[in-house]
């Protein structure tokens, strides 16, 4: 059975479980001031388009995109459960989020991630993201990296 990506409110039990796993993981690696992930409430308030990837019916990954007019889309809350990594789910989610951006007339993606997220950084760089200086609201932080990719 192929993985399925579908829109999902971030306050559903499956979405909350993935977001909490991600937050627990990040809290073990970064101080609070270097963690910029949106809470469930902020994802809703900021109208972030949020998606879950299910593999064999089980929630395996999530990701969101906040649109800034038609200027750019910022990826938020990208996460793949450790036990299903290596199956291409991160790339599938990136492809899906990019298609969502294109559908809304956006041709530039941006993101912020932590330096200890080596698997995520590798995925982003393989996917064509280039490192950039911090963009608002981010500031210089030795534990943080910002990236962008122009969509074709």
Of 114, 102, 101, the closest CA to residue 32 belongs to 114
Q: What is the pTM of this model?
A: 0.95
* Each residue's pLDDT tens digit, 64-90: 999 999 999 999 999 999 999 999 999
Q: Tokens in use for 107?
A: 């041709």
CATH architecture of 4-150: 3-Layer(aba) Sandwich (3.40)
Q: Tokens in use for 5?
A: 């990506």
- The residue length of the chain stands at 152
Q: Are 52 and 37 in contact (CB under 8 A)?
A: no
Of 80, 77, 78, the closest CA to residue 43 belongs to 77
Give the torsion sign (CA, 42, 46, 47, 48). negative
* Each residue's pLDDT tens digit, 42-70: 999 999 999 999 999 999 999 999 999 99
């Amino acid at each position: 059975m192929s993985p399925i990506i579908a829109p999902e409110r971030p306050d559903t039990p499956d979405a909350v479980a993935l977001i909490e796993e991600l937050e627990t993981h990040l809290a073990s690696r970064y101080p609070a001031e270097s963690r910029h992930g949106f809470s469930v409430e902020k994802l809703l308030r900021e109208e972030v388009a949020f998606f879950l990837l299910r593999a064999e019916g089980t929630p395996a990954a999530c990701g969101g995109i906040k649109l800034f007019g038609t200027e750019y889309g910022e990826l938020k809350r990208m996460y793949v459960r450790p036990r299903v990594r290596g199956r291409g789910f991160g790339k599938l989610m990136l492809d899906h989020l990019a298609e969502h951006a294109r559908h809304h007339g956006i041709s530039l993606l941006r993101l912020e991630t932590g330096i200890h997220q080596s698997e995520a950084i590798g995925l982003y760089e393989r996917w064509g993201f280039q490192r950039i200086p911090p963009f608002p609201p981010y500031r210089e932080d030795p534990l943080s990296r910002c990236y962008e990719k122009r969509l074709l």
